[in-house]
């Protein structure tokens, strides 16, 4: 008999449990580490489920470089614990399509019954995005290494952001691709593969002139939903969805899948996953939180998708921390304990300001350097690593007139993208955590997590200051922090 501690709304309960629950939580936007302790490096990824194991393929990004890393592969039994298996597709020096300066983006893998091999497809390009091709490589085993076969123009056309979808009802696979930014392009194609998945057959549908990218399709028993982002490079925007009864359409009008002005919780679409367990089906959104300041450190935003097929609606839901059980096909949000900025103490020029959108109508602003800080006290801890989410507002889009480019909400604007805060537990300045806080919007509070170790008991403090982001030492405005129970 195992006992696991469960926190409910801040109260500590001791419950007897017949079995240990999921070992690990899913924490969107955290620094995810593999079983060796390294950052998971598999951007714009996709998941192949192979005999019950999840295989994550994604772009391997080298620090300081945009491209050239190849495709990395990880495996998991629970979608939370990831084991690295190295590079599934390794760049080849001097190769026309997979050299260290080639674009190898948005890889997808499918098992081909007729060939008895695993087939990897991706957006294959040169560094100026002038080729617009789709690459194919094959392997006898799922983790590879994969051998390059060819890079081709799909049915003679251009192909930029690449997606792949396999219909669970008949096993047929389809390619999704935006055909680029040229005036003649700006469409997204949905095209069927041949039986072998070695080439494309026929265009099934074309999403005309919406000028979208990063396409993916999620299937329910009744519907297909196609999710895509707008085209703002590494800056996030409002992802949209379309619905249809059949892949060939008719497809609905698009709608925005997340609360307005959150820019899809600061993420871009890329993949969706259907998890069918013994008790139900969960749909997951697997997005990227690109960090153009440091691409290799970009985070993953994986969230549950709420679909109502009767109302024909789909929404991506935010949860700081959730517990997904892939065996039952269900998930639950993890409850944390909140500490509000309203009740915290400020130092220096940091102060509490009226904000009708914040907890208790107050937000802490003016957090700057290490002498204008906010301290939350009386925090309950367990002595074990715990997820703590920092709910903040970053209004850099209001525009700092003296900064290059200004704000995105003005002509010719560009984004600063993030403020950086320092986080210190119990006044221990020997150990300073770095918290990236990306642009939100006026009145939009989003959160970003850190894993912290607090002392057991209720006398912990967390102090937040401002670190340098290239321009200034400001941290974002803080609404509240939420402390989650440790993973069992
Ligand atoms: C599938 O996984 C099970 C264990 O979960 C294993 O016994 C079986 O051999 C695997 N099948 C294949 C084809 O790899
Ligand atoms: C990429 O390919 C296009 C089309 O062949 C070509 O015009 C362009 O110069 C190439 N870019 C690089 C960096 O090689
Ligand atoms: C390529 O795509 C464009 C835009 O979708 C379309 O007008 C054109 O017919 C396509 N060309 C081919 C050869 O399919
Ligand atoms: C406080 O911040 C300043 C920069 O604003 C830095 O030079 C100094 O080292 C910091 N002091 C401590 C104790 O972190
Ligand atoms: C709580 O911590 C402060 C120092 O941060 C200390 O002065 C105080 O005695 C502690 N209180 C208890 C009850 O442990």
Pair (319, 402) in one structural domain: no
pLDDT bin (cut points 50, 70, 90) of residue 8 is very low
Which of 370, 420, 433, 472 should be mutated for ligand 4, with most atoms under 8 A from CB? Answer: 370
Least confident of 63-67, 199-203, 300-304, 432-436: 63-67
Examine the domain organization and report whether 67 and 192 are in the same domain: yes
Local confidence band at 479 (pLDDT 50, 70, 90 cut-offs) = very high
Domain boundary residue, one of 307, 333, 359: 333
326 and 288 housed in the same domain: yes
Question: 3-state DSSP helix/strand/coil percent for the chain, to nearest 5?
Answer: 5, 50, 45
The ligand with the least distance to the CA atom of 142 is 1
Q: Is residue 2 part of a domain?
A: no
Do 150 and 277 lie in a common domain?
yes
Nearest CA to ligand 1 atom 2: 51
Residue 358 inside a domain? The answer is yes
Distance CA 126, CA 160 (A): 11
Residue, of 22 and 107, whose pLDDT is higher: 107
Of all protein residues, the one whose alpha carbon is nearest to atom 12 of ligand 3 is: 157
What distance in Å separates the CA atoms of residue 408 and residue 368, rounded to the nearest whole number?
23
Best residue for ligand 3 mutational test, from 184, 191, 212, 215 (most atoms within 8 Å of Cβ) = 184
Q: What is the CATH number of the domain that holds 373?
A: 2.60.120.260
Q: Rounded mean pLDDT of 442-458?
A: 97
Residue nearest ligand 1's atom 14 by CA: 51
Same structural domain, 80 and 193? yes
CA angle at 304 for the pair 10 and 251, rounded to the nearest 5°: 155
Contact 302, 26 (CB under 8 A): yes
Residues 210 and 228: beta-carbon distance below 8 Å: yes
Confidence check: pLDDT of 407 > 70: no
Last residue of a domain, one of 333, 352, 368: 333
Count of helix runs (H) and strand runs (E) in the chain: 1, 35
- Do 353 and 214 fall within a single domain? no
The answer to whether position 5 is within a domain reads: no
Out of 116-125, 143-152, 169-178, 402-411, pick the least confident: 402-411
Residue 417's domain spans which residues?
A: 337-483
Residues 197 and 45: their CA atoms lie apart, in Å, by 19
Query: What is the band of 470 on the pLDDT scale with cuts at 50, 70, 90?
Result: confident
State the maximum Cα–Cα separation within the chain, in Å, rounded to a whole number. Answer: 69
36, part of any domain: yes
* Distance of CA 198 from the midpoint of ligand 3 (Å): 21
- We report the CATH number of the domain holding residue 178 as 2.115.10.20
Residue 232 confidence (pLDDT): 87
Mutate to test the pocket of ligand 2, among 68, 97, 128, 133 (most ligand atoms within 8 A of CB): 128
For residues 304 and 409, membership in a common domain is answered with no
Query: Does 6 reside within a domain?
Result: no
- Domain boundary residue, one of 298, 333, 368: 333
Q: Kindly give the number of the ligand 3 atom that is closest to the alpha carbon of 206.
A: 5
CA 221 to ligand 1 centroid distance, Å: 27
Q: Quote the strand ranges of 343-445, DSSP E.
A: 345-346, 351-354, 362-365, 374-381, 385-393, 418-425, 432-438
Assigned domain for 427 exists: yes
Q: What global pTM score does this model have?
A: 0.93
Digit-coded pLDDT (tens) for 298-338: 999 999 999 999 999 999 999 999 999 999 999 999 999 99
Same domain (yes/no): 303, 373: no
C-alpha gyration radius of the chain: 23
């Amino acid at each position: 008999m195992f006992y696991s501690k469960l926190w409910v709304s801040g109260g500590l309960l001791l419950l007897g449990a017949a079995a240990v629950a999921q070992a690990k939580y899913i924490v969107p936007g955290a620094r995810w580490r593999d079983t060796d302790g390294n950052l998971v490096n598999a951007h714009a990824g996709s998941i192949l489920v192979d005999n019950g194991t999840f295989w994550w393929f994604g772009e391997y990004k080298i620090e300081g470089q945009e491209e050239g890393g190849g495709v990395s592969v990880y495996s998991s039994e629970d979608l939370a614990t990831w084991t690295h298996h190295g590079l599934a597709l390794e760049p080849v020096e001097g190769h026309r399509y997979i050299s260290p300066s080639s674009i190898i983006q948005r890889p997808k893998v499918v098992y081909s019954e007729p060939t008895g091999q695993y087939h990897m497809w991706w957006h294959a390009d040169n560094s100026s995005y002038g080729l617009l091709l789709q690459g194919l490589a094959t392997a006898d085993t799922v983790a590879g290494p994969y051998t390059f076969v060819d890079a081709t123009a799909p049915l003679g056309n251009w192909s930029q952001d690449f997606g792949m979808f396999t219909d669970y009802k008949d096993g047929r696979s389809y390619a999704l691709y935006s055909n680029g930014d040229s005036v003649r392009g700006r469409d997204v194609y949905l095209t069927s593969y041949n039986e072998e998945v070695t080439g494309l057959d026929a265009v099934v549908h074309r999403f005309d002139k919406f000028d979208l990218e990063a396409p993916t399709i999620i299937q329910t028993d009744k519907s297909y939903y196609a999710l895509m982002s707008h085209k703002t490079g590494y800056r996030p925007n409002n992802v949209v969805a379309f619905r249809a009864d059949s892949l060939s359409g008719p497809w609905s009008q698009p709608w925005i899948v997340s609360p307005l002005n959150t820019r899809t919780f600061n993420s871009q679409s890329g993949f969706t996953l259907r998890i069918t367990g013994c008790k139900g089906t969960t749909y997951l959104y697997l997005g990227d939180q690109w960090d153009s300041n440091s691409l290799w450190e970009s985070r993953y935003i994986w969230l549950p998708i709420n679909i109502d097929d009767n109302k024909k609606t789909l929404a991506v839901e935010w949860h700081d921390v959730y517990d997904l059980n892939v065996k039952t096909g269900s998930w639950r949000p993890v409850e944390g304990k909140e500490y509000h900025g309203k009740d915290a103490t400020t130092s220096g020029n940091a102060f509490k300001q009226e904000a009708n959108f914040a907890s208790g109508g107050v937000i802490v602003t003016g957090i700057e350097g290490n002498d204008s800080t906010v301290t939350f006290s009386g925090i309950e801890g367990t002595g074990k690593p715990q997820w703590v989410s920092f709910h903040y507002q970053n209004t850099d889009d209001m525009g700092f007139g003296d900064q290059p480019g200004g704000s995105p909400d003005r002509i010719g604007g560009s984004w600063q993208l993030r403020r950086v805060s320092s986080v210190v537990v119990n006044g221990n300045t020997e150990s300073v955590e770095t918290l990236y806080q990306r642009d939100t919007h006026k009145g939009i509070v989003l959160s970003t997590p850190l894993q912290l170790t607090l002392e057991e008991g209720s006398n912990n403090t967390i102090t937040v200051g401002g670190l340098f982001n290239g321009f200034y030492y400001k941290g974002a405005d803080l609404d509240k922090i939420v402390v989650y129970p440790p993973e069992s």
